[in-house]
Amino acid sequence: MQQEPHGRSSDSAAPDIKTVIDAESPFPPLRRVPFLRPFTWLRLGWQDFLSAPLMSLFYGLCFAAMGWLLNLVLANAPQFLSAMSCGFLLLGPLLSLGLYDISRRLEQQKSGMVVTLFSLRGRWSNIGILALVLAVIMLVWARASLVVFALFYNKGMPTMQGFLSHLFSLDNLEFIAVYGCIGFIFASLVFAISWVSIALMLDRDTDAITAMIISTVALFVNSAATIVWALLIVGLVALGFLSWNIGLIVAMPVVGHATWHAYRDVVGWHPPRCDPVAGI
């Protein structure tokens, strides 16, 4: 199979292609990438951030504003701390759609970055289905979080200060282990179905179910690289939270741009199609 170049040619992945299903089917060939490849995605994401700083910062401010709003609403409700992270998992891919479009336009040397604000147009049905699935997962996770808190804090919910002091002590290892394991299951499910699916729907107008299947298969094909990528995302988001969400202004756009390059590396090349929104 002939390999077409994409992105920055000097950073393209080694041509080790793993074809899942015939390339002419809705399921594209998937590429195996080295496990340290996510660091290259971050570097490319940083380059895209520098190439379109104003629009990237706009999306970063949206992420930071969402974090500030959640902090304000949940200031006295530590039992809903998980909802904060799930809110980012739910809204993050949707907000990042514009960042993917910026990276796509930079890759194709197109102008008109403002139109990325309308990149959802014409894709409401497909992306809406994925958003609905993520919303259901978030609601189930929020309920599971409340159940875990009720089991370990049966004398009343702790204050935020009390919860944080308990969280970093050795007296609540059982709570931390149970809460962490359940959270890991939900976070892994969300990551598996969404880590390249939004970019795939933007690039190929793939339906939501197919995109989620491809995203999950791509995760297993590149399990080592996706573990590194997930840890990098968690680390950057954690640093953003610890900086009172200021770090999210830069970190989240870089992650969004990098996710586009992750998609372009992992999913087999596809010829550019006419954009029904921009008419190009």
- pTM of the prediction? 0.79
DSSP the chain: -PPPP-S-GGGPPPS-EE-SS-TTSSS--EE---TTHHHHHHHHHHHHHHHSHHHHHHHHHHHHHHHHHHHHHTTT-GGGHHHHHHHHHHHHHHHHHHHHHHHHHHHTT---GGGGGGTTTT-HHHHHHHHHHHHHHHHHHHHHHHHHHHHH-TT-PPPHHHHHHHHTSGGGHHHHHHHHHHHHHHHHHHHHHHTTHHHHHHHH---HHHHHHHHHHHHHHTHHHHHHHHHHHHHHHHHHHHTTTTTHHHHHHHHHHHHHHHHHHHBPP------TTTT-
pLDDT digit string (tens) for the chain, length 280 residues? 444 444 444 444 443 444 444 444 557 888 999 999 999 999 999 999 999 999 899 989 988 888 787 777 766 666 666 666 666 666 677 778 889 989 988 888 776 665 566 555 656 778 888 888 888 888 888 888 878 877 877 666 665 555 656 666 667 788 888 888 888 888 889 899 999 998 998 888 888 999 999 999 999 999 999 999 999 998 998 888 888 889 999 999 999 999 999 999 998 655 444 444 443 3
